Amino acid sequence: MFQHQQGILVKKDDLKLLTDSNKIDILAVIEAETPVVNGSIQYSAYQVLLHKSKSNRARMIVLVRDYLMNIVTVRKDLMSEDFPSIWLNLTSHTGSKLLRGLFYHLWQDTASSTSLNDQTSRLEIFLEQLERAANQCKHVVVLGDANIDVNRYDDPTYQLRLIADLYRSRTSSLGFKQFSLGMTFVANKRNADGSVSSSSIDHLLSSQPN
């Protein structure tokens, strides 16, 4: 499961209610902007995995149920300080393997801007991770906030059209299929004309869609 959550240390009770009521095994939390201090984030019955940036802050936190840790390996070799992602190898009792990626494609980070060049550079880091993952495992499933609106893929006026085209072509060439998740973002305030902006920016990809 994927969850946007700002100020994770303040909203720990909300996350506990979410995990307990939905029996979630793996939960990715993004937009957390949490200072990384050893032992600062703890959740009962979960192992806490952090993506630490160069600024020593976590923009992504992943919670994994304790009982799964004997079949989960964190793939730090696929991860980078320059892009928020966490990669996990899961091996079933029968020996079948699944490589799971969780990611957050930022509009802007502390070292760059919202320019198309900078956004493309950040996306390229993720696409390189995805390619290495596909070369190492037959079954790869990726879930994350791409900040690319699926509903505007073919819109010639979309300001991120070049980035969207790069993303689509590369993921397709690597053998990934994208699944529709519907609208995944709805603005919390109305536009001047009274409408409410919405988009489909959270993406699910699989190398074995069947």
Reply yes or no on domain 71-210 having CATH 3.40.50.460. Answer: no
Cα–Cα distance for residue pair 118/76, rounded to 1 Å: 24
Write down the pLDDT at residue 119. Answer: 87
| pLDDT, tens digit (0-9, with 9 covering 90-100), for 69-101 | 999 999 999 999 889 999 999 999 899 999 999
Strands 85-91 and 2-4: unpaired
- What is the reported pLDDT for 123? 93
Q: In a structure prediction context, what are the per-residue pLDDT tens digits for the chain, which is 210 residues long? A: 444 444 455 466 677 777 777 888 998 888 656 666 655 677 888 898 988 766 677 778 899 999 999 999 999 999 998 899 999 999 998 999 999 999 998 765 656 667 888 889 999 999 999 999 999 999 999 999 999 999 999 999 999 999 999 999 999 999 999 999 998 878 888 888 888 877 899 999 999 987
Domain boundaries, the chain: 1-67, 71-210
Q: What is the pTM of this model?
A: 0.84
pLDDT at 33: 63
Q: What's residue 5's pLDDT?
A: 46
Rounded Cα gap, residues 93 and 137, in angstroms: 17
pLDDT of residue 158: 95
pLDDT of res. 157? 96
